[in-house]
């Protein structure tokens, strides 16, 4: 049965925008055994036993769960947790055996949107958590492009336009900011951790994200030792894009001796510079997407030959 979003309750606001819970006045609360509840697959938000969790656990001990979680049935008598991962953990720490929850019938898309939106209301969110949340929502909305908008507040009903722009409108961000966050999901964990720890800026991390994972791993010990500005990150990206060598001596020179890098004969002599091709690329294409755009153009030229 399709889920009805026509009667939903406002849960609060984030960045001036309203977010909603798919709960109606007619829904009843169930006591679900904790050992029958599985976490949401791919849940990008961390559940940490920190001071905030201690406070939540104490609240649960004295007051119980004030805001029931949301789960859906997944077969064989088990449930998937959509909203309430921290509350479930607090129940475990408080010694409770069940979790108060609404049991809803949700599609994968609906469940993903509700999970993302409910967690993005948290005050403390790591850049990597926001990155994977935006990516999950992006993929759901991308699949929904072309669906007619309805009067019901369905989380997967979309309007025409860029998906990243739609997400930006929802969370008070620009489309470019949304895209930068999503690029963080292409980083290996060690470099994502640097972003989360404020040791690497998001803009610098975006440049690094275009380097293939195996080469990112080569950079990790150097990035842990040296500061990486956005300009340095752009240099590293260009170096690897142009097939630069990855031996220890060469990579060290990239971080410590700019002149050594310029004088090195390792860089292909006929490498194309971005400034040489920019005039042939539409303004709507971001700099980080130039390479992909050029490759697609070359493939089109190859496949169409004289018809171009």
Residue 253 vs residues 143, 180, 240, 257: alpha-carbon distances, Å: 45, 28, 14, 5
Tens digit of each residue's pLDDT (9 = 90 or more) over 243-302: 988 999 999 999 986 544 444 444 444 556 666 676 778 776 776 677 777 777 877 777
Least reliable range by pLDDT among 1-10, 46-55, 116-125, 275-284: 1-10
Residue 306 has pLDDT above 80, yes or no: no
Please indicate, yes or no, whether residues 20 and 81 belong to a single structural domain of this protein: yes
Top pLDDT among 258 and 26 is at: 26
* Number of structural domains the chain divides into: 3
How far is it, in rounded angstroms, from Cα 99 to Cα 64? 9
Query: Against a cut of 0.95, is the pTM above it?
Result: no
How far is it, in rounded angstroms, from Cα 35 to Cα 114? 22
Top pLDDT among 263 and 48 is at: 48
Please indicate, yes or no, whether residues 103 and 70 belong to a single structural domain of this protein: yes
- Identify the domain boundary among 93, 119, 145: 119
Inside any domain, residue 288: yes
Tens digit of each residue's pLDDT (9 = 90 or more) over 85-135: 999 999 999 999 999 999 999 999 999 999 999 888 877 899 999 999 999
Residue 27 has pLDDT above 70, yes or no: yes
Name which of 130, 229, 220, 111 is nearest 172 in CA terms: 130
Please indicate, yes or no, whether residues 227 and 296 belong to a single structural domain of this protein: no
- Which pair of tokens denotes residue 61? 């001990």
CATH, residue 60: 3.90.1530.30
Q: How many residues does the chain have?
A: 308
Structural domain boundaries, residue 103: 9-119
- Which pair of tokens denotes residue 276? 């040489």
Name which of 21, 96, 113, 18 is nearest 56 in CA terms: 96
Inside any domain, residue 32: yes
Residue 28 vs residues 33, 96, 291: alpha-carbon distances, Å: 16, 20, 53
Please indicate, yes or no, whether residues 286 and 266 belong to a single structural domain of this protein: no
- At residue 97, the 3 state secondary structure works out as coil
* Residues with Cβ within 8 Å of residue 125, at least 6 apart in sequence: 45, 119, 133
Across the range 52-60, mean pLDDT stands at: 95
Tens digit of each residue's pLDDT (9 = 90 or more) over 201-232: 999 999 999 999 999 999 999 999 999 999 99
Crossing angle of the two packed helices 108-119 and 127-143, in degrees rounded to 10: 150
CA quadruple 131, 136, 140, 143: dihedral, nearest 10: 80
Inside any domain, residue 182: no
Please indicate, yes or no, whether residues 29 and 95 belong to a single structural domain of this protein: yes
CB atoms within 10 A of CB 144: 17
Please indicate, yes or no, whether residues 280 and 228 belong to a single structural domain of this protein: no
The confidence band for 200, taking pLDDT boundaries of 50, 70 and 90, is very high
Handedness of CA 209, 211, 214, 219 (dihedral sign): negative
Residue 63 has pLDDT above 90, yes or no: yes
Please indicate, yes or no, whether residues 225 and 293 belong to a single structural domain of this protein: no
Inside any domain, residue 162: no
Please indicate, yes or no, whether residues 226 and 278 belong to a single structural domain of this protein: no
Please indicate, yes or no, whether residues 265 and 282 belong to a single structural domain of this protein: no
CB atoms within 10 A of CB 168: 18
- At residue 187, the 3 state secondary structure works out as coil
- Identify the domain boundary among 119, 147, 173: 119
Q: What percent of the chain has pLDDT over 70?
A: 77
Helix or strand holding residue 75 (H, E): strand 69-75
Please indicate, yes or no, whether residues 240 and 282 belong to a single structural domain of this protein: no
pLDDT on residue 225: 94
Inside any domain, residue 222: yes
Please indicate, yes or no, whether residues 13 and 109 belong to a single structural domain of this protein: yes
Query: Mean pLDDT of all residues in the chain?
Result: 81
Inside any domain, residue 45: yes
Inside any domain, residue 265: yes
Q: Which residue has the tokens 């070359």?
A: 298
Inside any domain, residue 136: no
Please indicate, yes or no, whether residues 267 and 284 belong to a single structural domain of this protein: no
- Identify the domain boundary among 73, 98, 119: 119
The confidence band for 197, taking pLDDT boundaries of 50, 70 and 90, is very high
- Which pair of tokens denotes residue 9? 């309750």
The confidence band for 6, taking pLDDT boundaries of 50, 70 and 90, is very low
């Amino acid at each position: 049965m399709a889920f009805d979003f026509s009667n939903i309750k406002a849960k609060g606001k984030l960045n001036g925008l309203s977010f909603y819970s798919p709960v109606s006045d007619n829904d009843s609360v169930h006591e679900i055994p904790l050992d029958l509840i599985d976490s949401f697959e791919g849940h990008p938000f961390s559940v940490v036993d920190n001071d905030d969790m201690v406070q939540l656990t104490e609240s649960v001990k004295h007051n119980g769960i004030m805001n029931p979680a949301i789960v859906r049935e997944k077969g064989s008598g088990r449930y998937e947790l959509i909203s309430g991962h921290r509350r479930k953990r607090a129940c475990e720490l408080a010694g409770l055996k069940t979790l108060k929850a609404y049991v809803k019938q949700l599609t994968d898309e609906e469940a993903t949107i509700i999970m993302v939106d409910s967690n993005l209301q948290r005050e403390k969110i790591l850049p990597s958590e926001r990155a994977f949340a935006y990516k999950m929502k992006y993929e759901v909305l991308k699949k929904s492009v072309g669906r007619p908008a309805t009067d019901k507040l369905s989380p997967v009903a979309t309007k025409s336009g860029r998906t990243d722009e739609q997400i930006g409108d929802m969370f008070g961000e620009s489309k470019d900011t949304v895209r930068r966050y999503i690029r963080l999901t292409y980083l290996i964990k060690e470099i994502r951790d640097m972003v989360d720890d404020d040791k690497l800026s998001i803009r610098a991390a975006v440049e690094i994200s275009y380097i293939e994972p195996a080469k990112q791993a080569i950079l990790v010990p150097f990035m842990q030792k040296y500061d990486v500005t956005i300009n340095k990150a752009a240099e590293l990206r260009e170096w690897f894009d142009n097939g630069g060598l990855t031996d220890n001596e060469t990579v060290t020179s990239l971080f410590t001796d700019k002149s050594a890098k310029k004088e090195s004969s390792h860089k292909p002599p006929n490498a194309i510079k971005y400034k040489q091709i920019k005039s042939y690329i539409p303004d709507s294409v971001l700099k980080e997407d130039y390479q992909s755009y050029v490759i697609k153009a070359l493939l089109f030229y190859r496949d169409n030959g004289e018809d171009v």
